[in-house]
């Protein structure tokens, strides 16, 4: 890592994304923190990062909006290339498929897949020119096993797993590593309304995970210790899927 290395994290104003941003700041990276609309939450995360002595640049834009991504990233990318890109943005719009409005299907896939494409296509080529970089995509156990009521979310995350493996092969010769981290049931806003007692019966470790545990897995994949790992899915799920 050089003194000025940067980590760009999407969807980082709260939850897993915020924990990843703080953990990578602890590891010595300056942070480009993307979020869509939660300005107060993003400022709080930025304050924690600055308290660690690292710089934090706030980049508010919707990853699923190609023109917004271009407007927000093209200028800073002319000046600097992040060493790390974490594609964390994602939304859920749960419901059974036969009752699902088309917009709930499109919105979930647009954020996870279009967002991945719009951001990564701008960053990966620059990493290849530098012949260094780490890309980590945050996926989900739902994309590995399928989850009833989450056909849209499962499809989006399964697609992102496929994209991770394909991109890893495309950029490997340029020494850019691409991996995914797949959280199971993590204590976040997305899981707060789930029937926890019933879910815990399915989890061998009998607890939900923490955002910090997911962030630790991301930090490992971005470290020198993971320099021979690419195209992999690292599960952080308490044993719910093996």
Residues forming the active site: 153
Q: Is 11 left (phi over 0), alpha (psi -120 to 50) or beta?
A: left
Interior angle at CA 85, CA 16 and CA 109, nearest 5: 65
Q: Work out whether strand 176-183 and strand 233-236 pair parallel, antiparallel, or are unpaired.
A: parallel
DSSP code per residue over the chain = --TT-EEEESS-SSHHHHHHHHHHHHTT-EEEEEESS-HHHHHHHHHHHHHTT--EEEEE--TT-HHHHHHHHHHHHHH---SEEEE---------GGG--HHHHHHHHIIIIIHHHHHHHHHHHHHHHHT-EEEEEE--THHHH--TT-HHHHHHHHHHHHHHHHHHHHHGGGTEEEEEEEE-SBSSTTTTTS-HHHHHTT-TT-S-B-HHHHHHHHHHHTSGGGTT--S-EEEESTTS--
């Amino acid at each position: 890592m050089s003194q000025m290395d940067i980590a760009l994290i999407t969807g980082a104003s709260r939850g897993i994304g915020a924990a990843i941003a703080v953990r990578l700041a602890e590891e010595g990276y300056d942070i480009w923190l993307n979020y869509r609309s939660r300005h107060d939450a993003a400022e709080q995360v930025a304050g924690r990062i600055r308290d660690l002595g690292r710089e934090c640049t706030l980049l508010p834009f919707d990853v699923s909006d190609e023109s917004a991504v271009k407007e927000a990233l093209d200028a800073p990318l002319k000046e600097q290339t992040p060493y790390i890109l974490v594609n964390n943005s994602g939304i859920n719009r749960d419901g059974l498929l036969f009752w699902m409005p088309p917009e709930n299907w499109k919105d979930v896939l647009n954020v996870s897949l279009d967002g991945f494409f719009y951001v990564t296509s701008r960053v990966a080529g620059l990493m290849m020119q530098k012949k260094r970089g780490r890309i980590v995509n945050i996926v989900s156990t739902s994309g590995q096993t399928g989850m009833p009521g989450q056909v849209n979310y499962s499809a989006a995350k399964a697609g992102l797993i496929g994209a991770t493996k394909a991109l890893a092969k495309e950029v490997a010769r340029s020494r850019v590593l691409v991996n995914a981290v797949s959280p199971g049931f993590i204590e976040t806003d997305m899981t707060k309304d789930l029937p926890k007692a019933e879910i815990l019966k399915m989890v061998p470790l009998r607890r939900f995970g923490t955002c910090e545990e997911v962030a630790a897995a991301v930090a490992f994949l971005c470290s020198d210790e993971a320099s021979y790992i690419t195209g992999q899915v690292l599960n952080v799920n308490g044993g719910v899927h093996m």
